[in-house]
Amino acid sequence: MQTALTVVVALIALEHLYILVLEMFLWNTPRGRKAFGLTPEFAEATRVLAANQGLYNGFLAAGLLWGLLRGPAGDAVTLFFLVCVLVAGLYGGMTASRRILWVQAAPAALGLLLWVLAR
């Protein structure tokens, strides 16, 4: 179970690093606009907000990786950041797009379930 947890947490961290890149560096590009369904005008008007949002996704990824790298000593860190990802995913799913529930909240919920089962 621990191996499955490690793999899921690492994948969630990589996903949030990818979101960081999309929001901070690719927001105004065709790839970034396609990922979020944006018009060029809206992307330009919101690029600073998106970059800030991307930074937060980077913090989530960093926290998850920090927890993994600490091994068993990082269990509480991993738990904390999985809960943060879940809360962000639930809020985003309720306020921005239902898709966020599947992209962000569901993987975090799986990670939390694995975290409990690995104990």
pLDDT in tens, 50-95: 999 999 999 999 999 999 999 999 999 999 999 999 999 999 999 9
Distance CA 10, CA 43 (A): 29
Is it the case that residue 21 has pLDDT exceeding 90? yes
Task: Name residue, tokens 């600490």.
Answer: 70
pLDDT over 90 percentage in the chain: 98
